[in-house]
Amino acid sequence: MACPELRVGSGWESQFAINHLGHFVLVNLLVPAMPANGSRVVAVSSAGHFLSGVRWNDIHFRNGYDRWLAYGQAKTANALFAVQLASSGASRGISAFSVHPGSILTPLQRHFSTLEKHDLGWTTSNGDAVPGFKTPSQGAATTVWAATAPILADHSGAYLQDCNIADVAQTDDMSVGGVKPWATDPADARRLWAPSAEMTGVDAFGRR
């Protein structure tokens, strides 16, 4: 999360590569083994997607790195991946969802000092999570719900939070919740799939 600049693979920005491309490869390779009906894929996005849509002209931040924008782009990519997988996988009985698990103190924040976490409003002066943060178990709830809830059968592609389908965000305050339109836009989801397949060399649905 908001990592220092790191290049992986063919000079790819690491947060996009690890959070999106790695999962893109894994899921595409698993598609042939998925049951014909009832398979679900859950992509863990986050409210961090508020920070940035996909930077189509500079996905890998070759013109200057910003760790927060890179994180936001990666989380948007997670959500868009679920949107396109829901569309492409429908004929095979595959559903897909993206989720915001909530704010949780875990090793995800390992690149932040104790002082930085306090200054960002995540922790109290003694290092405990502030009210409103979830435990890891509470944070897992929406992911489990996405994978199992029968009520979601007709909502493939949705972005979920707090065991519910998120509304479109009406503010730029990510703490209020909701989902930004750029994270669920079908055209952007299709657009992202093509370079993802080109970069990784895999596409279970044959669009190369």
Per-residue pLDDT of the chain (208 residues; tens, 9 = 90+): 888 899 999 999 999 999 999 999 999 999 999 998 889 999 999 999 999 999 999 999 999 999 999 999 999 999 999 999 999 999 999 999 999 998 887 767 777 777 776 777 778 888 888 788 899 999 999 999 999 999 999 999 999 999 999 999 999 999 899 999 999 999 999 999 999 999 999 999 985 4
DSSP string, the chain: --PPP-EETTTEEHHHIIIIIHHHHHHHHHGGGS-SSSEEEEEE--GGGGG----TT-TT-TT---HHHHHHHHHHHHHHHHHHHHHHHGGGTEEEEEEE---B-SGGGTTS-HHHHHHTTSB-TTSPBPTTPBPHHHHHHHHHHHHH-GGGTT-TT-EEETTEEPPBPSSS-GGG--B-GGGS-HHHHHHHHHHHHHHHS--TT---
65 catalytic? Reply is no
pLDDT at 53: 98
Catalytic residue among 12, 71, 97, 193: 71
pLDDT at 208: 42
Fold of 7-200: Rossmann fold (3.40.50)
